[in-house]
Structure 1
Amino acid sequence: MSTPFLFDLSKSVLKYRKIQERLHNKGRGIQVGKTKSGNRHVPFRLNLLFFAVFLLFSLLIFRLGYIQIVQGDQFESELEASSSEQQARIDAPRGLMYDRNGNIVVDNELALSLTYTNKQSVSTEERLEIAEALVDLISIETKENETLDDKIDKRTKQDYWIATHPEKAKNLVTDEERAQAEENDENENEIYNLQLSRISEKQLSSLDSELKKVYIWGQMVSGYYDTPYRIKKDLSRNEAHQISERLDSLPGVNILRDAERQYLYEDAFPDYFGNIGSIPREQLDKYLAKGYARTDEVGTSFLEKQYETDLRGKKGTVTNGNTTNGRRGNDLVLSIDMALQQQVDTIVQEEVNSMSGSFINNPNAYIVMMKPDTGEILAAVGHQNQLGITSNSYAMGSTVKPATVMTGLETEAVTPQTTIIDRPLELPSTEPISSVYNMGPVNYYDAIVQSSNIYMSYVAMNMAGYNPGTGQSWSNTTYKKAFDTFRYYYSQFGLGAKTGIDLPTESTGITGPVNYPGRLLYLSFGQFDTYTPMQLAQYVSTVANDGYRMKPRLVKEIRQPNPDKQQLGAVKKQYEPHIMNKLDINNNYIDMVQEAMRGVVNQSRGSAYSEFNGAEYAAAGKTGTAEVSVQQDGSGDSIDGINQAFISYAPYDNPEVTAAVVVPGLYESSNVAKVIGRRALDAYFNLKENPQAPVPEENQEENAATGE
């Protein structure tokens, strides 16, 4: 190899001489002596310095020359080798999820994915040829009641039509329009938009015979350039075999080892596990900044999304055949007891199915079971709609009365000795209010045990300074202040406030307008503001926990991955119980209301006595019935209906479990909420005495088929 020297020695010497000359001419404070002949000369020390610099320059020149001439070929070959290294990143499996007893509830299964790497240099015709070849090699799965046409959006069809009909697409735009677009410097975009707007439905319907090819082509062009994009996950063995044999003729196509998420109990716990999918485009920059690749899959909802950072695995790499192993993501230990979850889910299904025809619309029923002292959620069932537990809100009826009584006692609107005559109440501009029956004289205890609407109404009126029967008018200032007071205390229980559950989103319910004084009375007995089943669960847990409101949790721990999936890894993070607030209410009043709630299920006149009579554990509870107007699906007509609710906890002396049940949209009043609550508590204590593992869902299906 011929390589010129970087430095020329003669130039260095010349440079040295010029420095001497410059110093001589400028005389920058340097002492210069004279020879006998009268000529000036440079001092000896400066000559020595220049000589040392000259030697250093000479060594540097020699070293650079040696590197370029002697070792140049070696370095050049190493550079070429390093630049030709091929490095690929291998997706690592996500972390697993376990229930509170160490049973795997979310697993990973090895799967093969078909990918396509789109390149700008590839022509449209080449992509179409690849799509045509893949039509015969893979199948496209559709969901129940979904067609292949449903999987393809209109823009994909339009783009495909333009790609396969270039001349016809060109004729959709006139020469004048093209010229105008060029003048506006928006040639391509403007012409493209004109073409899209002028493709007829008839032209798109001509693609019906090749929808599979349209879908595959659409997937191929959906990814980013030079980045593998998944066209299909979970290839069958036969599909993978056929594609592998043809990879040489399918440039850009590859088969990737992947991990398919397995939700082992998605029938019993269908939604809160969440889902994974492609990075949403609006969040792409955020994920790229965190080191994600454009084609990575991420958690897109609920626990998968909430704990994405922990569940994400560490990728491995393959460099010229050498593999660096990745690592599975961290594992989550949920608070859910999956065996209890399955049993409670079965209980809800049985009770709802036994009431066929009792629901105004599709049947809904919810129950949340929680440990009141930690906030850990043991079971969360939503019949046909688990997400409604945190997103749907309902009027909860008399279940709010314990909070109303405590609010009244704390604000001195009533005292422990206050007695009210329970009889129908008629007020100006307000519909008549009554209890289930005329109860006669009731105090706070009777009002909870027997569920008096009249007592609660008097709490509200006293708080607003209104005395019925005297001709007194409501004061706008005082009744609105009473609304604020009620909602202040209710929020301390978790009613109308965020519960803080470890999910990306939750509803806080609906707060009604305060434009009529009479609505204050309906608020006091649970027929005005609406709350979610999760809020109701936090509320009863706060009462059971002596006034301490705990943050509800679905995840107890984060564990390091263990290669043996049947054994939990070391604890990485443990979530301690979190107190959100302590009720701003006298502890004596909390004790009094707890005692009244015990009477609800233990006193013969209690509203839940018949359902809990004979229970082997001591419980406390409160029933709730709300009269509501329900919009009927289909017709849109509003129909008078009933919401049933029930809250409970046990054992009474040392609560370890609470249950909040909501059954909305019934035609008429029913005991269903109380029955579900009693059976759910039975299941909890039975499993405590006789622990069981959850039943795999495939076994449940087999048992159902054989009638076992």
Structure 2
Amino acid sequence: MSKKKNKGISQIPFRLNILFFVVFVLFSVLIVRLGLIQIVQGDDFERDLEETSAEEFRIDAPRGLMYDRNGELVVDNELTLSLTYTNRPEVSEEERIRIAKELSKLIEIDEEEKEKIPDRDKKDYWIATHPEEAQALITKEDRQKVEEDQELYKLQLKRIGEDKLQSLEDELEVVVIWREMISGYYHTPERIKKGITEKEAHQISERLDQLPGVDIIRDANRNYIYKDIFPSFFGQTGSIPREHLDEYLAKGYDRSDEVGTSFLEEQYEETLRGKKGEVYGADEENSAEESKGSRGNDLVLSVDMALQKEVTEIINQEIGRTAGSFINKPEAYVVMMDPNTGEILAIAGYDDHLGTVSSSFEMGSTVKGATVLIGLQEGVVTPNTVIYDSPLDLPYTPTISSVSALGPVNYLTALERSSNIYMARIAMEVAGYRLGVTQSWNTTNYHEAYDTFRYYYSQFGLGTYTGIDLPSETIGIKGATTYPGNLLYLSFGQFDTYTPLQLAQYISTVANGGYRMKPRLVKEIREPNSDKTQLGPILQQFEPKVLNRVEIAPEYIEMVQQGFWRVINGSRGTARSYFVDAPYTAAGKTGTAEITERINGTGPSVEGNNQAFVAYAPYENPEVTVAVIVPGLYKSARGGIANTIARRSLDAYFELKESRPGMEGETTEEQ
């Protein structure tokens, strides 16, 4: 018995040793495997992890809204759906093309989109769908001579003929979709089509499992509520322009982002841009989590949309009454401004609002106030100077006259009755030419006189940038200074050209006593409010900005203001008949410039007129100015069109003010 027991006991350590050895081997294998995973394959797994379980991307947030100066919503966001595609490096070109072809059966592509496909994109698509033919375009000799793949690719593009592109005519929808699919970054949703229909959304949703990378997301379209009466200045949104892509990417934008591409949308892009939300944590086992973004900040415009609507209707009515009176297309522009702040209250045009900042015209006698101020400041005339108004015949200059021989005039009657001769005599004196004394023009002197006039004019905003808060504006055209006689035409507004906005800045500078104010379309920036009917807290309120004080004695400006008062209220004022029954006292200046235009730009030349008018009211304490230009009229057209538009626009301003007392300025309070 004892022997058997001893034998069994002796076998236990042996079995334990075998067990320990097996455990040791298993642990060794495990350690080696862990080391292999962590050290050798760690980077690969980490990258896979980032691409799957930790995938994260940003989604667009709505842009800020816009309100008019009285808190009325004028630009809103409308919910829409967009089709997106998220590209991945492991997806083959064949798969992307298959998806593009499937999508082309499910969505409509605008004809305009197909028409504007660049040939380069068509060639790239042809190469992707005809790889063997594309390779055949490169010869062995090419490969021996050219080592860079990029240069070989350029050869391919160059050798793709028009016949190859014509073969894609039936696939243009696919080309449009494919181009959008590959245009963004990897792992970032790229819009294929914004604003898909409900039917399109249903069709795509039913096939999402067959379309990897395709998704439908919430999106927003801009709704310009007053697009018929303030259509252009709101601007537009769209894809980042190629020429500005690097700039936007440096600011943290994604290639697929939509941005403001013109006017206020572009000017205030950083303000209106929303804070993006994020989608993250999506994989096969876990649904995505979404972090909501926030709407961009809101803009409060200086424009009164009720007044804007009235002014637009006035322009349309008056120009409608003048049908057939224009040499070419009908045009008329109005700018109304607060002369004390530079805030634009209304800015409108007949069928083209943008002409107020992008088109320039000879403004005629409206500029005579600035000319009188030049004469007084330069000392070539005094308040007591009297000049006899009769036609002038000078060397190298056509005969110059006023509308009729006015006889003796001083600065007041020269403005009241609109004397061209008084202005021309100021120009002659500034150039050192004394009528009846000087025998010929001094070249140096008259060139310096041009500079003097333009220097002073620019202080009022004529012929220079106004500083308006828009991405661009026109400054007008300066005529050549070759001939001295043109200096005289410059003095009464029939040489250089100015924009309607410049004209408004000019009359505002006269009205407020000589301060050129920066014109503004936006007066406040507000935080977004979840209730669109209420404004959020103020983030920034733009204070009035003085661009310059004109270098003219205040007493001279007061004298010109008196002259402008007589234009409307004097017994022989050129605008008296238009304001006889006005319930307010206004001051202003009429203007008519003789022009020559070609019919349709290339046809025969026709003589005509530009009608212009500037005014401000009330005279004692100006709170509104108006500048009107109706260019390109036949000489036979009825007179006073610009005067009538100005009178009716001022009436609309004061009537609206009376109908809603206390409404002005409410947007400056915390809501």
Indicate the TM-score class for this superposition, using the shorter chain for normalisation.
0.7 to 0.9
Q: Is residue 330–residue 560 contact of structure 1 (8 Å, CA) maintained in 2?
A: yes
Q: Quote the offset at 1:225 in angstroms.
A: 3.7
Distance in 1 (CA, whole Å) between partners of 2:653 and 2:392 is: 42
Indicate which of 94, 102, 106 corresponds to 2:75.
106
Question: Are 2:150 and 1:189 equivalent residues in the alignment?
Answer: yes
Answering whether residue 272 of structure 2 is matched by residue 295 of structure 1, we say no
**1:3 to partner: Cα distance:** 8.3
Call closer, same or farther: CA 1:189–1:629 in 2, change over 3 Å: farther
SS in 1 for 2:399: coil
- Tell me, what secondary structure is at the counterpart of 1:364? coil
Is residue 224 of structure 1 aligned with residue 185 of structure 2? yes
Q: Distance in 1 between matches of 2:155 and 2:352?
A: 44
Deviates more, 1:567-576 or 1:343-352: 343-352
Q: Deviations over 1:147-188 (max 9, x none)?
A: 5542323323333333333444444x252xx433443223x4
Tell me, yes or no, if structure 1 residue 339 matches structure 2 residue 306. yes
CA distance in 1, matches of 2:29, 2:512: 86
**Take 1:356 and 1:267, find their aligned partners in 2: how far apart are those partners?**
21
Contact kept, 8 Å, 1:151 with 1:215, in 2: the verdict is: no
Confirm whether residue 524 of structure 1 aligns to residue 491 of structure 2: yes
Find the counterpart in structure 2 of residue 432 from structure 1. Answer: 399
Cα separation, 2, equivalents of 1:595 and 1:237: 65
Task: Please say if residues 391 and 506 of structure 1, whose CA atoms lie closer than 8 Å, have aligned partners that are also in contact.
Answer: yes
> Residue 214 of structure 1 aligns with which residue?
175
> 2:451 is matched with which residue?
484
Residues in 2 aligned to 1:666 and 1:213: alpha-carbon distance in whole angstroms? 51
Aligned to 1:446: 413
Q: Normalising by structure 2, report the TM-score.
A: 0.87
Residue of structure 2 in register with 1:180 after alignment: 142
Distance apart, 1:431 and its partner CA: 0.9
Aligned to 1:700: none
| Gap change, CA 1:112 and 1:576, over 3 Å in 2 | same
- Structure 1 residues 323 and 129: CA distance shift in structure 2, 3 A: closer
- CA drift of 1:634 comes to 5.4
Counterpart Cα distance in 1 of 2:211 and 2:51:
28
SS in 2 for 1:113: strand
CA contact (8 A) 1:370 1:659 kept: yes
Conserved? CA contact 1:181–1:190, under 8 Å: no
Secondary structure at 1:592 match in 2: helix
Please, which moves more after superposition, 203-212 or 638-647?
A: 203-212
The residue type paired with residue 245 of structure 1 is: E
**Alpha carbons 1:501, 1:552 under 8 Å: kept:** yes
Match of 2:3 in 1: none
Letter in 2 for 1:100: R
CA distance in 2, matches of 1:512, 1:82: 64
Contact 2:138 2:152 in 1 (8 A): no
Q: Partners of 1:644 and 1:260 in 2: how far apart? A: 41
Indicate which of 67, 88, 93 corresponds to 1:124: 93
Q: 1:587: which partner in 2?
A: 554
Q: Which residue does the alignment assign to 1:419?
A: 386
Give distance in 1, aligned partners of 2:183 and 2:640.
54
Which one-letter code corresponds to 2:130 in the other structure?
Answer: H
Partner of 1:163: 128
Equivalent residue for 1:251?
A: 212
Compare CA radii of gyration and give the structure with the larger one: 1
1:685 to 654, 663, 671: 654
Alignment partner, residue 150 of structure 1 = 115
Q: 1:282 aligns with which of 225, 232, 243?
A: 243
Q: 1:457 to 1:381 in 2, by over 3 A?
A: same
Partner of 2:394, secondary structure, is coil
Counterpart code for 2:645? I
Deviation at 1:2, TM superposition (A): 5.2
Aligned residue number for residue 221 of structure 2? 260
Once structures 1 and 2 are overlaid, which stretch shifts more, 632-641 or 133-142? 632-641
Q: For residue 265 of structure 2, what is the aligned residue in structure 1?
A: 304
Q: For residues 250-649 of structure 1, what are the structure 2 equivalents within 5 Å?
A: 250-320=211-281, 321-470=288-437, 472-633=439-600, 635-649=602-616
Secondary structure of the corresponding residue to residue 439 of structure 2? coil
The residue identity in structure 1 corresponding to 2:356 is I
**Structure 1 unaligned spans of 5+:** 7-67, 69-75, 695-708
* Greater Cα shift, 108-117 or 534-543: 108-117
Equivalent position SS for 1:431: strand
- Quote the offset at 1:81 in angstroms: 9.3
* Paired residues of 2:337 and 2:346 also in contact (CA < 8 A): yes
Shift of 1:223: 2.8
Q: 1:245–1:556: structure 2 CA closer, same or farther, 3 Å change rule?
A: same
Cα separation, 2, equivalents of 1:260 and 1:149: 22
Identify which range, 525-534 or 639-648, moves more after superposition. Answer: 639-648
| TM-aligned CA deviation for residue 447 of structure 1 | 0.9
How far is the alpha carbon of 1:387 from its aligned partner? 1.9
RMSD (Å), alpha carbons: 2.6
TM-score normalised over the length of structure 1? 0.83
Count of residue pairs brought into register by the alignment:
619
Q: Distance in 1 between matches of 2:482 and 2:29?
A: 92
2:145 maps to amino acid: E
Alpha carbons of 1:362 and 1:225: their partners in 2 closer, same or farther (altered >3 Å)? farther
Whether contact under 8 Å (2:358, 2:474) holds in the other structure is: yes
Amino acid at match of 2:391: P
Partner secondary structure for residue 633 of structure 1: helix
Q: Distance in 1 between matches of 2:209 and 2:30?
A: 47
User: What secondary structure does 1:230 align onto?
Assistant: strand
Deviation at 1:203, TM superposition (A): 3.6
Structure 1 residue 5, shift from structure 2 partner? 14
- Aligned counterparts of 2:623 and 2:28: Cα–Cα separation in 1: 84
For the structure 1 residues 310 and 81, does the alpha-carbon distance in structure 2 shift closer, same or farther, using more than 3 Å as the test?
Answer: closer
Q: CA deviation at 1:277?
A: 1.6
The within-5 A match list for 1:643-658 is 643-658=610-625
In structure 2, relative to structure 1, the CA distance for the partners of 1:2 and 1:430 (3 Å cut) is: farther
Distance 1:108 1:182 in 2: 58
Residues 10-29 of structure 1: pairs in structure 2 closer than 5 A: none
Aligned amino acid, residue 125 of structure 2: Y
Range that drifts further, 374-383 or 385-394: 385-394
Deviation, 1:95, is 0.7
Describe the SS at the equivalent of 2:543.
coil
Letter in 1 for 2:584: Y
Rounded to whole Å, the distance in 1 between the matches of 2:138 and 2:171 is 29
The percentage of counterpart residues that share the same residue type is: 60
CA drift at 1:611: 1.7
1-structure distance, mates of 2:376, 2:416? 17
Query: Which residue of structure 2 lines up, in the alignment, with residue 89 of structure 1?
Result: 58
Kindly provide the CA deviation profile for residues 526-549 of structure 1, in whole angstroms up to 9, marking residues without a partner as x.
Answer: 111111111111000001101111
8 Å Cα contact 2:57-2:188 kept in structure 1: no
1-side partners of 2:196 and 2:30: how far apart? 60
Q: Which residue of 2 aligns with 1:115?
A: 84
Residues 148 and 211, structure 1, Cα contact 8 Å, conserved in 2: no
- For 1:449 and 1:428, the matched residues in 2 are separated by 29
* d(CA) in 2 for partners of 1:199, 1:192: 11
Shift of 1:511: 1.7
Whether the 8 Å CA contact 2:142–2:152 is kept in 1: the answer is no
> Structure 1 stretch 332-341 or stretch 155-164: which is displaced more?
155-164
Looking at structure 2, the residues matched to 322 and 123 of structure 1 have their Cα atoms a distance apart, in angstroms, of 28
Q: C-alpha offsets along residues 231-264 of structure 1, whole Å, 9 cap, x if unaligned? A: 1111111211111111111122111211111111
CA 1:465/1:318 → structure 2, altered by over 3 Å: closer, same or farther?
same
